């Protein structure tokens, strides 16, 4: 049971393999470009000659590659060897990709867990690491002790699509923050202000804003919006000033304009006296493709 195969030796797969090996697990690895296995072989890991041999080596197979196209390309070369195995796919993807992959894997007599690693490779296995998993509860329970070695496992349910939704929701928050910071940096550069000089103040503001999220989340979930201190009409005016200043400073507004548009829509639709907790409802579209319904369980 203390054996794991790791497929994919990019930055993340290498970190996963190293972490398991360092914590006493017997690790077999495989990667499309074989040279990436060399340092791991030197540490005592086994490099399988092909994917099928890698899968045959362990009952638990972890795969972390660029995308689902790569996962499919790899596994289609070794589908016969999947029977009786558990595949944990830590490759970033969408809910429908997770469903299709689960269906394909189950057809081949294997168990499937979808997952998302929520830290960068250097943090894998550390105290701040956490990884989302969804899918077969029995497979998760069977392998939980090994998965725990990678960082706090967060099992979000049998619905195979959920790990992808959780993962992408967290990434949305992160990329939104990056977008704001990138725009801020461009504005500062337009006046030759060193970004490093202002970054501690940006961090201080963001840290203070993040403290408000639990209250905001409660309002979003309940649909009850108390009188805010910072209302949407006021914030729309501030966002408009960022757009005007950006044009004056010859800075593109692509990153900020959609945010202004959303706040502006809220202000025009009777939500000007609320705050950001009233905005997520405006992003929900009425038509929703069947295959992206996260509440629908995977048809196994
Ligand atoms: P990476 O360093 O760019 O490595 C990509 C891996 O995918 C390599 O093993 C590469 O093989 C393989 N690959 C790509 N196309 C392939 C194909 N067509 N067939 C077979 N193998 C293929 O990426 P990474 O950082 O390890 O990311 C892997 C996964 O972890 C991604 O889904 C990513 O979203 C997720 N993740 C990454 C981070 C991070 O900070 N790095 C954090 C959280 C989650 P070759 O070596 O042969 O090119």
Beta bridge partners of residue 28, listed in sequence order: 5, 46
Q: Report the pLDDT value the prediction gives residue 77, as an integer from 0 to 100.
A: 87
Q: Report the pLDDT value the prediction gives residue 293, as an integer from 0 to 100.
A: 47
Q: Report the pLDDT value the prediction gives residue 290, as an integer from 0 to 100.
A: 53
Residue nearest to atom 37 of ligand 1 (CA): 12
Q: Report the pLDDT value the prediction gives residue 121, as an integer from 0 to 100.
A: 98
Q: Report the pLDDT value the prediction gives residue 297, as an integer from 0 to 100.
A: 42
Residue nearest to atom 48 of ligand 1 (CA): 33
What's the CA-to-centroid distance between 163 and ligand 1, angstroms?
18
What's the CA-to-centroid distance between 172 and ligand 1, angstroms?
19
Query: Ligand 1, closest atom to CA 118?
Result: 43
What's the CA-to-centroid distance between 280 and ligand 1, angstroms?
32
Query: Ligand 1, closest atom to CA 33?
Result: 47
What's the CA-to-centroid distance between 66 and ligand 1, angstroms?
3
Which of 5, 7, 8 gets mutated to test ligand 1 (max ligand atoms within 8 A of its CB)?
Answer: 8
Question: From CA 268, how far away is CA 263, in angstroms rounded?
Answer: 9
pTM score, whole prediction: 0.91
What's the CA-to-centroid distance between 125 and ligand 1, angstroms?
18
Residue nearest to atom 8 of ligand 1 (CA): 10
Measured from CB, residues less than 6 Å from any atom of ligand 1 are 8-13, 31-33, 36, 64-66, 70, 73-74, 91-92, 117, 120-121
Q: Report the pLDDT value the prediction gives residue 185, as an integer from 0 to 100.
A: 98
Query: Ligand 1, closest atom to CA 12?
Result: 26
Query: Ligand 1, closest atom to CA 14?
Result: 26
Q: How many CA atoms lie within 13 A of 126 on its CB side?
A: 9
What's the CA-to-centroid distance between 215 and ligand 1, angstroms?
36
Q: Report the pLDDT value the prediction gives residue 295, as an integer from 0 to 100.
A: 44
Q: Report the pLDDT value the prediction gives residue 300, as an integer from 0 to 100.
A: 34
What's the CA-to-centroid distance between 59 and ligand 1, angstroms?
22
Query: Ligand 1, closest atom to CA 69?
Result: 18
Query: Ligand 1, closest atom to CA 8?
Result: 9
pLDDT below 50 — which residues of the chain?
291-300
Nearest to 33 by CA among 74, 91, 87, 76: 74
What's the CA-to-centroid distance between 121 and ligand 1, angstroms?
11
Q: Report the pLDDT value the prediction gives residue 299, as an integer from 0 to 100.
A: 39
Q: Which two tokens stand for residue 110?
A: 């294997």
């Amino acid at each position: 049971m203390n054996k794991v195969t790791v497929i994919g030796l990019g930055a993340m797969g290498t970190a996963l393999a190293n972490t398991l090996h360092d914590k006493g697990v017997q690790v077999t690895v495989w990667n499309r470009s074989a040279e990436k296995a060399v340092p791991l072989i030197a540490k005592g890991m086994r490099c399988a000659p092909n994917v099928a041999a890698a899968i045959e080596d362990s009952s638990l197979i972890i795969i972390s590659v660029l995308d689902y196209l790569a996962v499919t390309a790899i596994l289609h070369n070794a589908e016969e060897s999947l029977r009786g195995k558990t595949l944990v796919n830590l490759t970033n993807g969408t809910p429908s990709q997770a469903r299709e992959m689960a269906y394909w894997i189950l057809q081949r007599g294997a168990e499937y867990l979808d997952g998302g690693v929520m830290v960068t490779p250097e943090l894998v296995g550390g105290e701040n690491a956490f990884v989302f998993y969804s899918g077969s509860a029995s497979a998760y329970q069977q392998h939980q002790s090994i998965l725990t070695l990678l960082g706090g496992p967060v099992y979000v349910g049998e619905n195979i699509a959920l790990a992808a939704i959780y993962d992408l929701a967290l990434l949305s928050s992160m990329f939104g923050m990056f977008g704001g910071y990138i725009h801020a940096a461009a504005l500062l550069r337009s006046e030759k202000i060193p970004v490093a000089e202002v970054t501690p103040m940006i961090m201080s503001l963001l840290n203070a804003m993040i403290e408000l999220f639990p209250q905001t989340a409660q309002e979003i979930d309940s649909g009850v919006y108390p009188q805010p201190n910072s209302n949407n009409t006021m914030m729309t005016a501030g966002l408009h000033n960022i757009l005007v200043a950006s044009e004056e400073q010859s800075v593109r507004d692509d990153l900020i304009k959609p945010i202004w548009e959303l706040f502006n829509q809220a202000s025009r639709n009777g939500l000007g006296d609320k705050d950001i907790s009233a905005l997520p409802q405006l992003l929900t579209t009425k038509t929703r493709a069947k295959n992206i319904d996260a509440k629908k369980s995977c048809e196994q």
